[in-house]
Structure 1
Amino acid sequence: MGKTDNRTMRHLDVLCHRFGGRPIGSAAYDNAAEWAGGKFKEWGMDVLYDEAGQLPVGFNRGPWFGKMTSPQSMHLHFATPSYSAGTRGRVVAPAVREPKDDEEFARMKKRISGAWVLLTPEPEKPQPKRDEPRPSFRERMRQRELEQEKRAARLKKLEDAGALGVIESAKVPIQAMYNKDIHKWKSWQDLPNLCEILLDENQFVLIQRMVSERRRVELEFDIRNYFRMGPVPYHNVIGVIPGSEFPDEYVIISGHLDAYDVATGAVDNGNGVTTSMEAARLIMAAGGKPRRTILVTLWAGEEFGILGAGHWVEKNKDRLPRVSAMFNRDGGPTVPTGIYVTKALWADLEPLSRIINSINPDFPFELKEHKARPRPQGPGGSDSSVFAMHGVPTFWLPTADPRGYDFRYREIWHTESDLYQKSIPEYQEHAAIVRAVLAYGVANLDHLLARDGFYLSEKEAEALRKAAAKKRKKQAGSATF
């Protein structure tokens, strides 16, 4: 059935072309959640709409347009973050560069008022070397907070001087996320007024050069970013296939339903959502009666800080010891090539690997040895991280592009290129089958999966963190000479 009547791409078509980009707080997210829950019901599943939180306001993106009107005409290629200010209609104004220091700011203050300000590009951060120790979670969070505070002060100064908006250089394809100030807002009164425009780096350089030559450059923007009165709740959508023998033990297959709206969220994370949904449909269509409960979960607010999964974990801490496995998909639309398992789990997963290998010989699937790792100290890059913090086995399925589509995840990650056309049907369809086999197989074992060797003990993890901190300190000291 998974090979002859696979509907993964049908689900993705609806998600991308009927709803589009869907940040939490948007009508698109609410509609997509209702649709997904409706499909679960249609397939005979129980459905839970789990309210994971509320936003003080909501956001709906409208169309956007921009061009240079003087000294020459040029269509502008740009984007704006979700929850950022739009223009008040069509606005034509001069472009000026950002002052270099306070003295220059005082000299330019009058010109900044009523202008678009070209922000000075930040120097690129060097990529860490492969063997370089990574800063701890707390260190990374603190560094991020400091950077956000510095940027906020920078923009506030320009806004107070009367700037209409700021324009930043953006690599192509343009990456546009969301205005993180929303986490501080309390009400409608906190909405932003300063436009934040991410402009194609090639056009930015051209305009910047003209401005530096003291030529009058006029830019026209019409950006229709709309807000919704709040509070606006957002929900995890959970399709439940009840366990026939161990209903209070669980297997989770999941992906996050929210997606940035500069594109349609086909890969990040329509990829995880639609393969989860199709895995559920295949199990139900085959008349599956798992011994354990399977939770097919479409998380809310992953892009805003793992909000939906974090809420579920916090609310269900008593259930976490009874979660046998979590299979989360959040990456490229490439095909699963295996699964990392501990020696204690080899006997449980090997029969499932054989089943998967019998389905399509073009996509071999192998068991790989999992080496114990520390539990994360805080939420990481995907929803599985908050489960891993509590010791739940979260399985990583490596993927590949064996047919040579030259897929590159960084080209679509949070960018305007995250479109339906970037998905790869045969990989997506096979991924749905793999996920169905794994979830149903683990749910039908006569025991919960053993957790031995999946994570390091806290003592081992702490020793590893101390060694890494010592190495960073040593490297920082040697860099000063």
Structure 2
Amino acid sequence: MRHPSFLALFLPVFLLTVLPGAAEAQTFRTDDPILRQMWTEGMERSQTEPLAQVLMDSIGPRLSGSPGYDASADWLVDLYESWGIEVRREEYGTWRGWQQGVLHVDLTSPRVQTLEAKLLAWSPGTAGPLEAEVVMIPHLATEADAEAWLPSVAGRIVLASHAEPTCREPQALQRLARPETFASLREERGNRMGAWAHRLRMLGPNPHRRLEEAGAVGVVTSRWSEGWGVNKIFDADTREAVSIDLSCEDYGLVYRLTENEQGPRLRINAETEELGTVPVYNVMAELPGTELPREYVLLSAHLDSWHAATGATDNGTGTITMLEAMRILKAAYPNPRRTILVGHWGGEEQGLIGSRAYAEDNPEVVENLQAVFNQDNGTWRVDYIQTQGLLGASANLGRWVAQLPDEIAGHIELDFPGPQELGGSDHVAFLCYGAPGWRLQSHYPDYRQYTWHTNRDTFDKIIFDDLMNNATLAAMLAYLASEDPERVPRDRSILPIDPRTGEPREWIPCREPRRSWDP
């Protein structure tokens, strides 16, 4: 379904809004007028905030195969067309269509309390309120013990993960507790995790499916992200039993009630809609090259997200970075020397599917890539770029960064040739072929703990001063890569030693994209 209302709502803001407070750069290292115009467009006329508000608030989460993903793609296509930028959808396969609706979870015994819960992706619903007794997987010494216990779960809701000894942020705990207390709690957590890993192993390779087959009507877990109020939310393994995640605090409550045989019962009302097999696709836009149209600079960010929040920093910020970079390029550099592409990838969260499919389907683009600039790790300004094991490419990237204003370049650590990442984001889909696929890296630990795949990855976590910086950086790098008289070389360095073998690591391999959902 098309959503022209998003564009209609956005355009007045787009035309009128200018973010305040972006001071004019005083430290340009070149008198290049295009770089100066890009600074003005990106830092003084930034549209990052109104763009992000529509994507995160009006459209929301963008799970692969969901109507939310389709709505975000429609919005991107409408925007690019309104800016006069060529745009298209490129289908790469099919996926399982699914839409979540209302979820409400209550403790009904031994007292009443509404619980903080999230539905796991692609979970079945409940077809109306479901109320049942809660049990937990007990200690199971052997697989025979598991076989004997399994019939008891019929008609019940099963707790299927360990409870945390504390839901306090580790940094605060380490700062405020006695060292002995901190060490004791960490040891207890490790012991609980180990004990529960054994219980799950006794149920076989897919324990949640085993519980469902034995008649469990619900499976409840909690995947705490070691921060205040944050859980990581992924996908369900069940086909008929509802699968939910409870907050660290509420899971601990229900766990203790169950462990102490105090008769907990839960009422779950989960609305979902199965939409069958649906097409999945990337959104590609381009500014055609005028001198070298068959050489390419690629801006890269995945569009899909998990569903428990709104995917603001994973990867709404990357999406807005590259969308805004293309707006800046259209305004300041509309006729590039080389073709500038942007890939808004689908299926990244299921294994870089969209970008891997694009690379596999477009070998002529991969062969002629001048550079790939990928952004996929949250807010904060870009502060680290490595050339991912490419030797000669360091000279090109170094020249480009040297021309950036100090306000942007001064925060960036360059690592040449770099250790090369082992995976993790869409630049790998091109790097594996030897193409210069580079990640524009921001501060990682805070992102990993608090917003990466969590229930708190929302608009309010975005730092717009940094997002403006990153979009302007991406536009400037795309321009400089496009104009460079030299092709970026692809000679490879010897990679660091693999501690498992004592030999240098192999170049990261290419993997075949998973083009359909296979249960």
Instruction: Please give the TM-score of this superposition, normalised by the length of structure 1.
Output: 0.81
For each residue in 1:225-278, what CA deviation from the matched residue of structure 2 results, as whole angstroms up to 9, or x when unmatched? 221122x01111011110000000000011000001100001000011001000
Equivalent AA in structure 2 for residue 333 of structure 1:
T
Q: Percent identity?
A: 29
Aligned partner of 2:158 in structure 1 is 117
Paired residue for 2:231, among 167, 170, 174?
174
Give the whole-Å Cα distance in 1 for the aligned partners of 2:67 and 2:412: 42
Aligned partner of 2:69 in structure 1 is 29
Give the whole-Å Cα distance in 2 for the aligned partners of 1:366 and 1:419: 26
Aligned partner of 1:206 in structure 2 is 253
Are the aligned partners of 1:322 and 1:448 in contact in 2 as well (CA < 8 Å)?
Answer: no
Change (3 A) 1:112 1:388: same
Aligned partner of 1:2 in structure 2 is 42
Aligned partner of 1:310 in structure 2 is 356
Change (3 A) 1:214 1:148: closer
Paired residue for 1:221, among 259, 263, 268?
268
Change (3 A) 1:111 1:216: farther
**Aligned-residue offset at 1:434:** 0.3
**Aligned-residue offset at 1:367:** 6.1
SS in 2 for 1:252: strand
Paired residue for 1:272, among 283, 305, 318?
318
Instruction: Please give the TM-score of this superposition, normalised by the length of structure 2.
Output: 0.75
Q: How does 1:461-472 map onto structure 2 within 5 Å?
A: 464-465=497-498, 468-469=500-501
Are the aligned partners of 2:154 and 2:215 in contact in 1 as well (CA < 8 Å)?
Answer: yes
For each residue in 1:310-342, what CA deviation from the matched residue of structure 2 results, as whole angstroms up to 9, or x when unmatched? 101111123322101100000021112354357
Equivalent AA in structure 1 for residue 400 of structure 2:
L
Please report the RMSD computed on the Cα atoms of aligned residues, expressed in angstroms. Answer: 2.8
Aligned partner of 1:443 in structure 2 is 482
Give the whole-Å Cα distance in 2 for the aligned partners of 1:150 and 1:297: 42
Aligned partner of 2:437 in structure 1 is 394
Paired residue for 1:162, among 215, 221, 244?
215
Change (3 A) 1:54 1:151: farther
Give the whole-Å Cα distance in 2 for the aligned partners of 1:326 and 1:469: 31
**Aligned-residue offset at 1:152:** 5.0
**Aligned-residue offset at 1:374:** 6.1
Q: How does 1:317-332 map onto structure 2 within 5 Å?
A: 317-332=363-378
Give the whole-Å Cα distance in 2 for the aligned partners of 1:22 and 1:395: 24
Aligned partner of 1:254 in structure 2 is 300
Give the whole-Å Cα distance in 2 for the aligned partners of 1:267 and 1:199: 22
Structure 1 unaligned residues grouped into runs of 5+: 125-146, 182-190, 472-481
Paired residue for 1:50, among 79, 90, 94?
90
**Aligned-residue offset at 1:12:** 1.1
Aligned partner of 2:386 in structure 1 is 340
**Aligned-residue offset at 1:28:** 0.7
Are the aligned partners of 1:97 and 1:119 in contact in 2 as well (CA < 8 Å)?
Answer: yes
For each residue in 1:335-356, what CA deviation from the matched residue of structure 2 results, as whole angstroms up to 9, or x when unmatched? 1235435774455444533442
Q: Does 1:381 align with 2:427?
A: no
SS in 1 for 2:76: helix
Change (3 A) 1:39 1:330: same
SS in 2 for 1:86: coil
Paired residue for 1:353, among 386, 390, 401?
401
Equivalent AA in structure 2 for residue 352 of structure 1:
W
Change (3 A) 1:321 1:71: same
Give the whole-Å Cα distance in 2 for the aligned partners of 1:424 and 1:436: 19
Are the aligned partners of 2:106 and 2:268 in contact in 1 as well (CA < 8 Å)?
Answer: yes
**Aligned-residue offset at 1:161:** 2.1
Q: How does 1:130-145 map onto structure 2 within 5 Å?
A: none
For each residue in 1:184-238, what CA deviation from the matched residue of structure 2 results, as whole angstroms up to 9, or x when unmatched? xxxxxxx8102222122332232222223322211111111221122x0111101
Give the whole-Å Cα distance in 2 for the aligned partners of 1:41 and 1:150: 53
Moved more, 31-40 or 291-300: 31-40
Change (3 A) 1:346 1:163: closer
Change (3 A) 1:51 1:427: same
Give the whole-Å Cα distance in 2 for the aligned partners of 1:438 and 1:420: 26
Give the whole-Å Cα distance in 2 for the aligned partners of 1:245 and 1:178: 47
Moved more, 170-179 or 262-271: 170-179
Are the aligned partners of 1:85 and 1:192 in contact in 2 as well (CA < 8 Å)?
Answer: yes
Moved more, 11-20 or 259-268: 11-20
Are the aligned partners of 2:232 and 2:453 in contact in 1 as well (CA < 8 Å)?
Answer: yes
Give the whole-Å Cα distance in 2 for the aligned partners of 1:251 and 1:67: 52
Aligned partner of 1:129 in structure 2 is none
